[in-house]
Amino acid sequence: MFDKLEKINQRPKPFEFYTAETLWTDEHISKQMLHYHLNEDVDLASRNRTFVDKSADWIMSHFKVGPGVRVGDFGCGPGLYTTRFAEAGAEVTGVDFSERSIRYAKDTAKEKGLKIDYVLQNYLEFSSDRRFDLITMIFCDFCPLSPEQRDRLLGIFRDHLADGGAVLMDVLTLNFFETTKENRSYEYAPEGGFWSPEAYYMFLSTFKYEPEKVILNKHTILEKSRIREIFNWLQCFSQDSLAAELEANELPISETYADVAGSPLKADSPQMAVVARRES
Residues 228 and 246 in one domain: no
22 falls within a domain: no
Residues 256 and 136 in one domain: yes
214 falls within a domain: yes
Comparing CA positions, the residue from 26, 28, 25, 52 lying closest to residue 39 is 52
Residues 130 and 248 in one domain: yes
Sort strands 116-120 and 132-137 into parallel, antiparallel or unpaired: unpaired
Helix (H), strand (E) at residue 189: strand 183-189
| Contact between 92 and 85 (Cβ < 8 Å) | yes
* Residues 231, 20: Cα–Cα separation, whole Å: 7
Q: Interior CA angle at 170 toward 166 and 173, to 5°? A: 135
Q: Three-class SS of residue 57?
A: helix
258 falls within a domain: yes
- Chunked into runs of 10 residues, the chain (280 residues) has average pLDDT values of 86 95 84 73 61 96 98 96 98 95 96 98 96 97 97 98 97 98 97 96 97 97 95 98 97 97 96 91
pTM of the predicted model, to two decimals? 0.93
155 falls within a domain: yes
Comparing CA positions, the residue from 29, 46, 39, 37 lying closest to residue 219 is 29
31 falls within a domain: yes
| Contact between 130 and 70 (Cβ < 8 Å) | yes
Residues 162 and 184 in one domain: no
15 falls within a domain: no
- For residue 53, give its domain range: 27-171+237-277
The per-residue pLDDT for 37 is 62
The per-residue pLDDT for 130 is 96
Number of structural domains the chain divides into? 2
The per-residue pLDDT for 48 is 76
The per-residue pLDDT for 39 is 63
Distances (CA, A) of 274 to 152, 168, 173, 248, 271: 18, 6, 12, 15, 10
The per-residue pLDDT for 80 is 94
* Residues 226, 228: Cα–Cα separation, whole Å: 7
Here the CATH number for the domain that contains residue 59 is: 3.40.50.150
Residues 209 and 127 in one domain: no
